[in-house]
């Protein structure tokens, strides 16, 4: 059994597992061992891993004051050196961009909710609505290819066996509940008043589309695995 390491960014490791969502479920169902860890943990040797999946965070990838960010960047660089495939999701995609020489900064406007993405690689990333929850965006790093986009940001890039996405394929009702558990009343009010997000309606949409979202997430992971075959 090969091991897929998920790097989650919550101090509560149970929350980290919750935030891995349908992606961890699919990885396990595909026959891999799922390991959830924090960047500050004693992490496994990258050469022993099938792949590394870097999840989202409410923090900024360019915030050097984040205590564990340097350790995560160093670990990802070691994974690149070992040719261990990396899948970066939202914050994780931003971290992957950074270690490959790209940049991360504030987006012109946040993207919250299901937002349409246009894909050049339907075999890798479906076109259509993907769940978004970000205030920053990455640039496509040198040597990488943008494979999905929308007017707000590059939404996915490929660099050899590595894939960075700005959206959240792992979304599920449990993931959304884990996110909102951290939201202050002020943040929730700001999302609704400033961005026009109906939080209750968004959760209902996530519930109603849970099976479809999980299936698309599974297809994305399987396509990510297939990238290694074409390098």
| CA 210 vs CA 97, 163, 175, 205: distances in Å | 29, 23, 11, 8
Catalytic residue among 32, 162, 168, 217: 168
Active site includes 217?
no
Give me the count of residues in the chain: 231
| CA 62 from centroid of its chain's CA atoms | 16
> How far apart are the C-alpha atoms of 162 and 105, rounded to whole Å?
21
Active site includes 111?
no
- The pair of structure tokens assigned to 41 is 């943990």
| CA 202 from centroid of its chain's CA atoms | 19
> How far apart are the C-alpha atoms of 125 and 216, rounded to whole Å?
9
Give the residue from 23, 48, 47 showing the smallest Cα distance to 36.
23
Q: How many helices (H) and strands (E) does the chain have?
A: 7, 9
> How far apart are the C-alpha atoms of 7 and 143, rounded to whole Å?
24
| CA 3 vs CA 105, 127, 207: distances in Å | 32, 29, 29
Active site includes 72?
no
> How far apart are the C-alpha atoms of 102 and 150, rounded to whole Å?
18
Catalytic residue among 72, 90, 159, 162: 90
Positions marked active-site = 90, 168, 170
């Amino acid at each position: 059994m090969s091991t897929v390491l998920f790097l989650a960014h919550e101090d509560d490791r149970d929350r980290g597992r919750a935030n891995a969502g349908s992606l961890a479920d699919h990885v396990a169902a595909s026959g891999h061992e799922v390991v959830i860890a924090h960047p500050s943990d004693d992490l496994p040797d990258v050469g022993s891993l099938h792949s590394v999946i870097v999840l989202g965070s409410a923090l900024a990838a360019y915030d050097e004051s984040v205590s564990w960010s340097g350790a995560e960047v160093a670990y990802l660089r070691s994974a690149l050196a070992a040719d261990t495939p990396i899948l970066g999701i939202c914050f994780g995609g931003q971290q992957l961009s950074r270690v490959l020489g790209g940049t991360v900064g504030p987006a012109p406007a946040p993207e919250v909710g299901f937002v349409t993405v246009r894909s050049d690689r339907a075999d890798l990333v479906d076109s259509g609505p993907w769940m978004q929850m970000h205030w920053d965006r990455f640039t496509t790093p040198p040597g990488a290819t943008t494979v999905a986009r929308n007017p707000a940001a590059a939404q996915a890039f490929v660099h050899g066996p590595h894939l960075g996405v700005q959206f959240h394929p792992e979304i599920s009702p449990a993931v959304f509940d884990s996110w909102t558990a951290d939201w202050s009343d002020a943040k929730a009010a700001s999302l609704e008043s400033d961005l026009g997000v109906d939080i209750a309606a968004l959760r209902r949409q996530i519930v109603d589309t849970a099976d479809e979202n999980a299936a698309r997430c599974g297809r994305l992971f399987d396509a990510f695995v297939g990238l290694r075959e074409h390098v």
